[in-house]
């Protein structure tokens, strides 16, 4: 599954561990939520970065105390129709100011990239190679956004205000 990070296809430096995989001595790891919560102290002490895979039906509040210490949070789209992780992503970025890697995993298709970028994702495990290759092109599909989100893009409402004011200056 190709990974898109920072807008480009990139190597995945994280190794995904299952609940019971033995802990490797070094290297970056992505750990399921239940294991992370159970073994947080030990996991965070070892060398190498730790990321957590957080399911979409588990309260994000539980993760909040660790946000300063994790290098990545992977949220899950079990199917592309299930949009719970969009809410989790916005909460992490906008309410809890999480600035690490925010990864979309599961059924990730190009038709969701714009929504995901707006919700705060910056890393994508894409299902199809062709979709990963089309990332930049697809991400630029829209230039107008009606609602404010944490991605900071100016909304149509405010763009209109700016246009009005600049027109006002000219006349």
Partner 1 sequence: MYAYDEIDRTLVNERVSEFRDQVKRRLSGELTEDEFKILRLQNGVYLQLHAYMFRVAIPYGTLASNQLRALAHVARKYDRGFGHFTTRQNIQFNWIKLAELPDALEDLAKVGIHAMQTSGNNMRNVTSDQWAGVAPGEIEDPRIWSELIRQHTTLHPEFSFLPRKFKIAITASDHDRAAIKIHDIGLKLIKNEKGETGFEVLVGGGLGRTPFIGKTIKHFVHGRDILSYIEAILRVYNQYGRRDNIYKARIKILVHELGIEKFSREVEEEWQHIRNSSLQIDDEVIEDIRSRFTYPAYEKLPHMPDELRQAAADTDFEAWRKNSVAPHKVQGYSIVTISLKPIGKPPGDATADQMDALADLADEYSFGEIRVGHEQNLALPHVAKRDLPALWKALDKLGLATPNVNLITDIIACPGLDYCSLANARSIPIAQELTRRFANHELANLIGRLHINISGCINACGHHHVGHIGILGVEKNGEEVYQITIGGRADEGAALGNLIGPGVKFDEVADVIEDVVEAYLALRERPDELFIDTVKRLGVEPFKERVYATR
**Would you tell me which residues interact with partner 1 (CB under 8 A)?**
80-84, 86-88, 90, 94-95, 109, 111, 114-116, 118-119, 130, 141-149, 156-161, 164
Closer to partner 1 at the Cβ: 6 or 146?
Answer: 146
Closer to partner 1 at the Cβ: 34 or 111?
Answer: 111
Min dist. Cβ of residue 15 to partner 1 (A): 29
Min dist. Cβ of residue 26 to partner 1 (A): 37
Min dist. Cβ of residue 81 to partner 1 (A): 6
CA angle 87, 21, 27 (to 5 degrees): 80
Residue 71 · residue 100 · CB < 8 Å = yes
Q: How far is CA 41 from CA 36, 61, 70, in A?
A: 9, 18, 12
User: What residues contact 14, with CB distance under 8 A and at least 6 apart?
Assistant: 28, 29, 30, 49, 51, 72
C-alpha closest to that of 159 among 171, 144, 138: 144
Min dist. Cβ of residue 83 to partner 1 (A): 3
Closer to partner 1 at the Cβ: 33 or 43?
Answer: 33
2: left (phi over 0), alpha (psi -120 to 50) or beta: beta
Closer to partner 1 at the Cβ: 45 or 81?
Answer: 81
Closer to partner 1 at the Cβ: 74 or 112?
Answer: 112
Min dist. Cβ of residue 98 to partner 1 (A): 15
CA distance 63 to 92: 9
């Amino acid at each position: 599954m190709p990974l898109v990070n920072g807008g480009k296809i990139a190597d995945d430096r994280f190794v995904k561990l299952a609940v019971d995989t033995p802990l490797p001595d070094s290297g970056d790891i992505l750990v399921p939520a239940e294991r992370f919560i159970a073994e947080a102290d030990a996991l965070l002490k070892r060398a190498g970065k730790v990321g957590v895979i957080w399911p979409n039906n588990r309260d994000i509040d539980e993760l909040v105390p660790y946000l300063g210490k994790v290098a990545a949070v992977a949220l899950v789209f079990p199917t592309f129709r299930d949009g719970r992780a969009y809410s989790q992503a916005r909460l992490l970025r906008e309410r809890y100011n999480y600035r690490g890697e925010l990864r979309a995993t599961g059924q990730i298709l190009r038709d969701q990239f714009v929504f995901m970028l707006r919700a705060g994702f910056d890393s994508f495990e894409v299902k199809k190679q062709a979709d990963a290759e089309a990332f930049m092109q697809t991400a630029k599909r829209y230039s107008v956004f009606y609602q404010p989100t944490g991605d900071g893009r100016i909304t149509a409402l405010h763009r209109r205000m700016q246009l009005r004011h600049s027109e006002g200056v000219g006349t």
